[in-house]
Amino acid sequence: MHAGLDGRGDCGQLLFETIEAVKGGTIDIEKAKVIGTLSQVMVNSAAVEVKHAQVTGQKGSNFLNKVEELPPGITGVRQHRLMG
């Protein structure tokens, strides 16, 4: 189990690791299918949140813009977004 999956890039990493595990025979097919199904649920959830943000005029969502605690000494984050 991966601690700290944040629903974004980590999901892709987990999928690649799962593919490698299936190829190497270190994970059974049923577990790999469950991981694939759950990953698809996450993708679908993100798509719904993006659509909701578009319809309501929001610039993001909790899923896409996860709020994280800042490390000691860091007082803020500046994000630059491309428009268009």
Q: Which residue has tokens 């799962």? A: 18
The model's pTM: 0.56
Helix/strand/coil (H/E/C) assignment for every residue in the chain = CCCCCCCCHHHHHHHHHHHHHHHHCCCCHHHHHHHHHHHHHHHHHHHHHHHHHHHHCCCCCCCCCCCCCCCCCCCCCCCCCCCC
How confident is the model over 9-35, as pLDDT tens digits? 677 888 889 999 999 999 999 999 998
Flag whether pLDDT at 60 surpasses 60: yes
CA atoms within 13 A on the CB side of 82: 1
